[in-house]
């Protein structure tokens, strides 16, 4: 057995999985073998979530049944709403989301199935918990936008799709067709991405047979970091700092000279442009055409990408999914600190697919370490120190 230390476990296989795959050289991300670019164009979040959970594209009746289950589970118990109302409104929405999701298990239960160690065989339980969590996470994120501003949240509707209902609850009015198209595509694009940091956190928590609500809470906490899900918020702040498109190259030169981060650029897995960034850029163009103008942030992002391609392209550094997602959300009137919670509303489908896969052949994670401390030694009495 190799004892080589690899920082960040770079390149170390942590599991066997058939959920998603990445071809970093060609820039291909696939869910269960289906190219993400095709899914973003032709599928919906509901269908994609079921594909991730069950492993195959559903029939129309299967999809209708799953969609109906999601719609029926959107409401929250009022005590969860009370918990949210008593949280500091100045806190980050990801902290709220982790707290609220962790509390769900106290109200909806079900952990007793996990205690006997055969939960991986109880597909009905796994499916039921997955539906509850996927549906209610969207409700929680949308509700918080109103609660933190001092208003009662908007009640969910069961006559709207997942994306449409989320936008309706978030904004308080029925969204237009373009907004729903963009949000649904964003949900599809962010739903899964192999064994990233938050998914690995979910897997480790899953391996202990913890409640699925705690499994997802662990993943949410990991996603919150700026090096993972929080980067899209940083991209918007970065573009605001650049101010104008003509400033992009000079700003980039200064960043690179100071060895500082260019947010939204580069990905450990991709040696070319992230396929999700390609789709998001196209959606941003469609959005701009519909609005009749090119937003300053989008124009600046395009100019900065050109400068980065020249300076960083030869090193295999190109835009990742965060580069354009934040701009899109901002154009849709969504608060920047809600970008990462929206990421979580989507990625929960992938986390739950990995939860199911982990339970199907479970073994608790227990990696080793390379000890660098002192050899065993005698305790030194206080008077001799």
Predicted pLDDT at 188: 98
Quick one: DSSP state of residue 126?
H
Q: What is the pLDDT of residues 42-96, one digit of tens each?
A: 999 999 999 999 999 999 999 999 999 999 999 999 999 999 999 999 999 999 9
Task: With respect to residue 9, please indicate whether it lies within any of the assigned structural domains.
Answer: no
Q: What is the CATH number of the domain that holds 263?
A: 1.10.230.10
Structural domain range at position 290? 231-331
User: CB under 8 Å to 199, separation ≥6 — which residues?
Assistant: 193, 219, 347, 350, 351, 354
67 and 123 within one domain: yes
**Strands 34-35, 28-31: pairing kind:** antiparallel
DSSP state of 328: H
User: How many residues in the chain?
Assistant: 385
State the pLDDT at residue 117: 59
List active site positions.
267, 322
**Within a domain: 344:** yes
Burial class (CB in 10 A: 0-12, 13-18, 19+), 124: exposed
Same domain? For 168 and 200 the reply is yes
CA proximity to 79, closest of 104, 42, 111: 104
DSSP codes joined into one string, 255-304: HHHTT---TTB--SS-SS--HHHHHHHHHHHHHHHHHTS--HHHHHHHHH
The 10 Å CB-count burial string (b at 16+, else e) for 310-344 is: ebbeeeebbbbbbbbbbbbbbbbebebebbbbbbb
Find the CATH number of the domain harbouring 29.
1.10.580.10
- The pLDDT tens digits for 85-130 are 999 999 999 999 999 999 998 988 766 667 665 556 788 999 999 9
**Which of 322, 330, 337 shows the shortest CA–CA distance to 93?**
337
How far is residue 33 from each of residues 14, 57, 60, 190, 257, measured CA to CA in Å? 20, 11, 20, 16, 41
Q: Are residues 318 and 352 in the same domain?
A: no
Same domain, 204 and 120: yes
* pLDDT for 283 beyond 80: yes
For residues 152 and 98, state if they share a domain: yes
Whether 303 and 342 share a structural domain:
no
User: First vs last Cα of the chain: how many Å apart?
Assistant: 41
Q: Tell me the percentage of the chain whose pLDDT exceeds 70.
A: 97
| Rg of the chain taking only CA atoms, in angstroms | 22
* pTM exceeds 0.85 for this model: yes
């Amino acid at each position: 057995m190799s004892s080589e230390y690899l920082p960040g476990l770079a390149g170390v296989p942590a599991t066997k999985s058939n959920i998603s795959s990445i071809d970093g050289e060609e820039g291909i991300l696939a869910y269960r073998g289906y190219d993400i670019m095709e899914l973003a164009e032709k599928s919906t979040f509901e269908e994609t979530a079921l594909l991730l959970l069950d492993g195959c594209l559903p029939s129309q009746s299967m999809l209708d049944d799953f969609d109906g289950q999601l719609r029926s589970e959107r409401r929250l118990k009022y005590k969860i709403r009370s918990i949210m109302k008593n949280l500091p409104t100045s806190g980050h929405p990801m902290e709220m989301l982790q707290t609220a999701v962790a509390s769900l298990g106290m109200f909806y239960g079900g952990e007793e199935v996990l205690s006997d160690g055969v939960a991986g065989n109880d597909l009905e339980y796994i499916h039921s918990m997955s539906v509850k969590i996927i549906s209610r996470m969207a409700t929680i994120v949308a509700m918080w936008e109103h609660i933190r501003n001092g208003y009662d949240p908007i009640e969910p509707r069961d006559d709207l799709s997942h994306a449409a209902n989320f936008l309706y609850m978030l904004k308080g009015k029925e969204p237009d067709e373009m907004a729903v198209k963009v949000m649904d595509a964003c949900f599809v694009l962010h739903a899964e991405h192999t064994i990233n940091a938050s998914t690995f956190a979910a897997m480790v928590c899953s391996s202990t047979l913890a409640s699925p609500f705690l499994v997802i809470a662990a993943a949410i906490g990991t996603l919150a970091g700026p090096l993972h899900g929080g980067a899209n918020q940083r991209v918007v702040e970065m573009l605001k700092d650049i101010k104008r498109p003509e400033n992009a190259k000079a700003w980039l030169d200064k960043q690179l000279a100071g060895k500082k981060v260019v947010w939204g650029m580069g990905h450990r897995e991709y040696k070319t442009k992230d396929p999700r960034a390609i789709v998001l850029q196209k959606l941003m163009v469609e959005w701009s055409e519909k609005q009749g103008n090119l937003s300053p942030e989008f124009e600046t992002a395009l100019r900065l990408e050109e400068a980065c391609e020249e300076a960083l392209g030869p090193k295999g550094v190109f835009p990742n999914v965060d580069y354009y997602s934040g701009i899109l959300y901002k154009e849709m009137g969504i608060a920047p600190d809600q970008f990462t919670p929206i990421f979580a509303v989507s990625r929960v489908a992938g986390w739950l697919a990995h939860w199911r896969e982990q339970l199907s052949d479970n073994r608790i994670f227990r990696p080793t370490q390379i000890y660098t401390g002192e050899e065993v030694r005698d305790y030194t009495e206080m008077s001799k120190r």
